[in-house]
Structure formats: structure tokens, C-alpha cells
Structure 1
Amino acid sequence: MSALHVSVDTTSAVPVYEQLRHQVSALVTTGALREGDRLPAARALAADLGIAVGTVQRAYRELEAAGTVTSRRRTGTVVAASTALEEDVRWAAEGFVERALSSGLSAEQALDVVRAALVSVARSRAR
């Protein structure tokens, strides 16, 4: 099992289950968590984070509904198989990063380019 490095801010306006869902989803998307990696049991993660078990269970349910993880008796909650589309997007992102950095852009400048592209595409799709 890969270590699950997540944290929560109980004072945030963002619900704790949503913070967990987002962080685990990001770890899967970036490849930090891979297919078959086990997530900690809900009780263990709740104890580690000092939150209610039901909060972790809700985050896990939402991740399962999105197809990010699967839960089964005896095996627990594991990262689901990624789709070919997800792998293709990850490959394209890595290619972009290689090109951006080799062109002399800083990591922050590369992120700015991606943010601008996201805004541009969202605007064109809204038309």
C-alpha cells in the first residue's frame, strides 16, 4: 500500500469529506497513487486525521461513485484501473511539461500557460 499523504483543515469552508475526495483524486490523477494501491481503512484514516469515520466513508463513497476507487470486503478500498483516456492525458501533460521546461519556462510559468488555456477553452465551449 502506498502511503496516503492527505491533510484536512476543519476550519475551511470546504467540507472535510470534499477535501479528502479532492486530494485522493489528485493523487490518482497525478499517478502518485496507482491502480491497485490500497487506501487506509476508514477508521484508521479518521483516527490519523482526527475526524469522524463517517466523513472518510463519505469521501470514499464519492470516490467510488466517480470510478476512482473500488471497495470490496476483505480487500478494502483500492485505486481503480485508469482509463486509456486518463493515461493519454497524463502522457500529454508530461510531454507539455518536458517541452515547457526545456524551452526555459519555470514551473510557475508553465502552470500559467495551462491556466490560460483552460480559461480560453472554457470560454470557447460556452459560446
Structure 2
Amino acid sequence: MIITVDPAAEAAPFAQVRSQLLEAIATGALTSGTRLPTIRQLAGDLGLANNTVARAYRELLADGVLESRGRRGTFVRDKATDVVPDARSQRLDELVRNYIDGARAIGVPSDEIVGALTRTLAT
């Protein structure tokens, strides 16, 4: 499992970790029952604070994608792929909401926001 975090990206580091884990589960790179690295290990590997990775894990636990087995670790939950589309859809909604809020904050009207999305999707 390879996760990378781009400090220059607009998405927060925890969101990058979260979305990459979701992608790995959705594509089968991480299968049901796979044990994930400890929070401390993954944070160290990525050069992140433990709380950053912990937040990504907490959100995925809350979404029902991961399960904690106490001292044994954090694992990809059985049937996690059933939950992944909903979790990804929620994350997409968050990203779109942030984009729209940012555009509105600088005074961009709705039709221009839609136009920008359409142009970007066409590229």
C-alpha cells in the first residue's frame, strides 16, 4: 500500500490519507481483513503528526470502512466495498461544497461556477 501526501495540495493531509485508503479499498488493493499500519507507523512513514492519521482512521471507522480490533490493530472491514461508494460520495459532496463556498466567497455567481466545473471536466 502506497500513500503519498502532497503538502501543496488543497486537500488537508488527513483528507488525502482518507481518500487514498478509500481508493485502495474500492480498487481491491486493500481487501477485507487487511491489517493497516499503526497510526504511529503510517504517520512516521508519511512525515505527518499522529493526530492527522488518527483523524483519517477515525472517519473511516465511523463510515464503517475500517474496524478496530483493539491491540490487534485496525483492519479493512468485511464488506467494506459496500460502504465505500457512500463514503466517497459524502467526501465528494464535501469537496464540491468547499469549492462552491470558496467561489462564492470571492463573488463568483452560480452560472460561472457551473461553467468552471464544466470546463474543467472537459479537460
Normalised-by-shorter TM-score class: 0.5 to 0.7
Tell me the SS of whatever aligns to 1:32: coil
Which residue of 1 is the match for residue 53 of structure 2?
56
Relative to total residues, which structure has the larger helix share, 1 or 2? 2
Aligned residues: 85
Question: Could you tell me the TM-score, scaled by structure 2's length?
Answer: 0.64
1:15-63: per-residue Cα shift (whole Å, max 9, x none)?
A: 0000000000111111110111011000000000001000000000001
How far is the alpha carbon of 1:74 from its aligned partner? Answer: 1.6
- Where structure 2 has 5 or more consecutive residues not aligned to the other structure, the ranges are 86-123
Which residue of 2 is the match for residue 28 of structure 1?
25
The secondary structure found in structure 2 opposite 1:11 is coil
Identity %: 43
Which consecutive residues of structure 1, in runs of 5 or more, have no partner in the other structure?
90-127
Match of 1:80 in 2: 77
1:47 aligned partner, one-letter code: G
- Matched letter for residue 45 of structure 2: D
Equivalence for 1:14? 11
For 2:34 and 2:42, locate their aligned partners in 1 and report how far apart those are by CA, in whole Å: 15
- Root-mean-square deviation (Å): 2.2
Divergent runs of 4+, >6 A: none
Q: Secondary structure of the equivalent of 2:71?
A: coil
- Secondary structure of 1:70's counterpart equals strand
> 2:52 & 2:27 partners in 1: Cα distance?
24
Match of 1:41 among 38, 43, 46: 38
